[in-house]
Structure formats: structure tokens, C-alpha cells
Amino acid sequence: MAKYFKIAAENRKARFDYTIIESYKAGLVLTGNEVKSLRQGKANLQDSFARAERGELWLYNMHVSPYSAADQNKIDPLRKRKVLLEKRELVKLTGKAAEKGLTVVPLKVYFDGNWAKVELGLAKAKKKYEKREKLRRQTAEREIESAFKGKVYGRKDRIK
């Protein structure tokens, strides 16, 4: 059986706000209605994070909109969700996250075959000046590309 990957939600802002040191692939415990809603792409990872509690990893502030055909009063869209990792990965990740300035952020939620997975990133927050410098560099590169676009170099038949 061929596997497929379908991205349900992506946290693009995380790569701008954080420097991603390592990434981990983990399972996600969801209810049936949340899975149906994720398949429709109705999830938001902005401002979400993961935290270890009593030997388990939990994902906070991940908003999954209620499935339209289900009873919407039963499930809180911002409830904490359990993340499934192997024990050695969990110990390694929580040990590194305990270091000063490191946090665990979800980068994307996707379907690997029929299973909902989350890509977690061990991240260090960027300073404001680092973000500004990156924006300046991207703007300069974009301007250089647009200046050179359409110009032909190295062709003798074009030079007069």
C-alpha cells in the first residue's frame, strides 16, 4: 500500500520566530471529529507549544475547529492533546527542552497514511534584531534578483 502525506496545518511563523535545532516526528491523540476536521484543513498551530508533564508530552493551544456535521458542544477546540513519542526520544527531547532558552514548538500537522502526525521542533527564540536582519537580507536578495531578471549576460550577439 502506497503511503501519502497530506499537510493539514503548518506553523510558518515558527520558523521566523525560532531557530529550529532539531525536529521530531510524533503521533497525535485525537478524537474522530478532530480527525475529520483536520482532513478538511481546519486547524491552526499559531501560538501552540508542547510541554512535558508526568512523563508525557502534551500539545497546548492547537486550535482544531469543530467538525460541522458533529455535535459542537462536546469538544473544546483548544484542549490539550497528547503527543506520542518513543520513550528514549521523549527523555532526550524533554532533557534538551529543560535547557535555558529552548522550547518545543509544533511545525506542522500532517497525515502519514491514515495516521495524524505532528512534526515537533526543538527551538531557540530569535532576538528581534535577528528577525530584522533576516528580513533585510531577503529584501536585498529579492531586489538583486529583480534587477538581473530579463538581462542577458555573456551572449555576444546581444552586445552592440
* Domain presence at residue 12: yes
CA distance 21 to 19: 6
Residue given cell 475529520 in the structure block = 36
* Domain presence at residue 145: no
* Domain presence at residue 82: yes
CATH for 28 = 2.40.280.10
* Domain presence at residue 119: yes
pLDDT digits (tens, 9 = 90+) for 55-101: 888 989 888 888 777 766 677 778 888 888 888 988 888 888 887 87
Name the band, by pLDDT with cuts 50, 70 and 90, for residue 106.
very high
> Amino acid letter at 154?
G
* Domain presence at residue 32: yes
Range of the domain at 121: 5-127
* Domain presence at residue 87: yes
Structural domain count, the chain: 1
* Domain presence at residue 138: no
Q: What is the pLDDT of residue 143?
A: 87
